[in-house]
Chains A and B, each alone.
Chain A
Amino acid sequence: MTNKHTISILVENKTGVLQRIAGLFTRRDFNIDNISVGKTSVENMSRITITTYGDDKTLEQIIKQLNKLIEVIKVREMKPDQTIRRQLALVKIHAPTEEDKSEIIQYTNIFRGKIADVTPKTITVEITGNPDKINALIDLLRPYGIKEMTKTGTTAITRGQKTL
């Protein structure tokens, strides 16, 4: 059965490492739903979080194939119930009236988002949270007319004391 999986990958911070990982996904016919890359607390080490779809067998192959890359230090599937997952979205919404603006601000507050920018005709909302929460807010904002939207990939960390 095809499921959504979040995979955390600890890598050596070397030229081309992202290309190796992306290339591996293409070549082996795995998919990348979204990806985020950033530094860690350790120098020369980066952490990549990939959200992917696949059945258990595909997931197993993804993890094993990633482990074969020399630059990959650790790979782990992040189980949903033991994982804190966050995304950031910036959404520019059509809001020409005061009424629109005030409604959008109310929704944003309910979702603990921020107003990042306001112009006479638009309002830009910044929201972080798990992907479901972000999607819920976006659904509410959509009827006003989304002029532009950008999202980061999901980043993830384990709940509790355990580390990668």
Chain B
Amino acid sequence: MNGSEALLKKLKENGTDVVFGYPGGVLLPLYDSIYDCDIKHILVRHEQAAAHAADGYARASGKTGVCIATSGPGATNLVTGIATAQMDSSPVIALTGQVGTPIIGTDAFQEVDTIGITMPITKTNFQPRDSSDVPKIIDAAYHIASTGRQGVVVVDLPKDVLQNEVTDEDMDAKLEIQGYKPNTNGNPRQITKAIQTILNCKKPIILAGGGVILADASKELVEFATKANIPVATSLMGKGSIPEDHELSLGLLGMHGLESTNNAVTDCDCLIAIGCRFSDRTTGKVSEFAPDAVKIQIDIDPAEIGKNVDIDIPIVGNAKIILEKFIGEIDGVNHGDWTKQIVSKRWAYKPKYNFGCVPFKPQECIKEIMEAITPETIVTTDVGQNQMWMAHYFKTKNPRTFISSGGLGTMGYALPAAIGAQVAKPDEHVLAVAGDGGFQMVSQELATIKEYDLPIVTCILNNRYLGMVYQWQVLYYNNRISQTELAPTPDFVQLAKSYGIDAVSVEEIGKLKENIMEAFDQGEARVIEVKIDSSELLPMVPPGEKITKIVGEYKQEE
């Protein structure tokens, strides 16, 4: 068997049955092997979408996603998707083609230093120089991408390495990785200390991040929070770690968080951060973040502990394992008064969704989306205002059903991530929510949706602006609206229809909901454009300010 066949066999052995890719010159040997292999290949229309789709696939399923791109521009087009997945710790393997080993370094046609380019945006990367190394490197790539703090591994494959022979012995060889031993169990002394602190504190808050979802620890989180009677705030990445209609759920913390939640975290005397890296969007001004709290941080990555916020009790470990230990030790705690007070303040906040006006208010769109879908529906978002409206107003009920580019904030994420999610979960409904800006960055992927009959519903919240940047220009740059107006936007209905996809522009209250439900019922893709009121701004914590300092007011039901 040759390098390509060995590679595909190893993908299969490691549980991959679908890949997202785009062929090219040096990948001809690989695509020749793909021609008669039983791994399904989804042909995207731009390599960036392959990376986002593999990422969306990983986030929806928990399995490692795989994307493929050719050398040179193929690899550089993957870069945004690789960085996106890596920032949010999504397990992805990116396979890139490379020119043949004899001509590496000669500036050959479509040659680029993929290893050098992807070094700072991956967990690690490999370039096998001999076909015999391919199998063990692929095994190692899966191991590294999917364990410890998950992330992206790039394997850069020179053309001749894909062509030359691989033996059966090579298939069984193991790559020894001395420097990689993730610690998952936590230090027992720190765990005991944390439990004592939780038992003795008066005003605890849990801050759940994406690590809870990555560790599949949502059940344990809810059990621990309930047993210890502690309210749970989440970061953007933690959305879905606790059902957001759960009594103890405080919803989103941070720049666009709930005011009551930002206040609660600021006032707490014990902050239990689980799988959360204290991004600047979550903490606001770090020196005034939960200033009186004893801070406990549970994270699989030791480098995250104390990186941004000083920590009193560090626990390096897997969120699920640590939470199980907590659950076993916590009994009969009562933070009754505090929790009652925090929870009642949280639920006293009744965001206004009903405006009944056209153009739609974004809040009204979110309401119709929530009414149209089930708790299992997977929702992907783009980046910007559309994402923050969803983050603030949309109630996620299940882990792995809210998929969004958190760390890197990549516009154009929603649609390709939805493709990955739909491929991972063919039986679930998938809804992509994007703005008009982000959608236009990846609209070519409608062709992919059409080709594979993916019943994805795409909702374009069209405000004709790069809304988030526009908002900052209004608030902080003297209303000088510089290059953020995108009008005239294309006719999205015509655009989608040209790809053979049903599309509609809704202009009446109730029609968004109706269209989403109808498309899901019919099991067919649909693009729904909603022209929304561009003047609606999100209240926010100004950058660098304390999180209690929210500018603007979230509208409430009268």
Contact = CB atoms under 8 A, between A and B. Distances in A.
Interface in B69-115: 115
A68 interface: yes
Interface string B129-166: 00000000000000010000000000000000000000
Contact of B144 (A24, A67, A70, A72): A70
A79 B318 CA distance: 32
Interface string A62-105: 00110111111100000000000000000000000000000000
Contact of A61 (B116, B178, B303): B303
Given A61-B303, A67-B303, A12 B179 contact: yes
Nearest to B151: A68
Interface residues of A, number: 21
A97 B127 CA distance: 58
A142 to B, nearest CB: 40
Given A19-B119, A27-B120, A61-B307, A69 B302 contact: no
B180 interface: yes
Contacts of A162: none
Given A20-B119, A23-B120, A72 B303 contact: no
A71 B119 contact: no
B136 to A, nearest CB: 14
Contacts of B144: 70
Contacts, number: 39
Contact of B177 (A19, A23, A68, A70): A70
A69 to B, nearest CB: 7
Nearest to B115: A16
Indicate the size class of the contact surface on chain B. Answer: 10 to 19
A60 interface: yes
B306 interface: yes
B302 A64 contact: yes
B124 A70 contact: yes
Q: Could you say which of B115, B178, B179, B303 has the most chain A C-beta atoms within 10 Å of its C-beta?
A: B179
Contact of A65 (B115, B180, B303): B303
A7 to B, nearest CB: 15
A12 to B, nearest CB: 7
Given A72-B179, A73-B179, A16 B119 contact: yes
Interface string B383-397: 000000000000000
Nearest to A71: B179
Given A19-B119, A67-B302, 18 more contacts: A11-B179, A12-B178, A16-B115, A16-B116, A16-B119, A19-B116, A27-B120, A60-B306, A61-B303, A65-B303, A70-B123, A70-B124, A70-B144, A70-B179, A71-B124, A71-B179, A72-B179, A73-B178
Closest 4 CB pairs of A and B: A64-B303, A70-B124, A73-B179, A72-B179
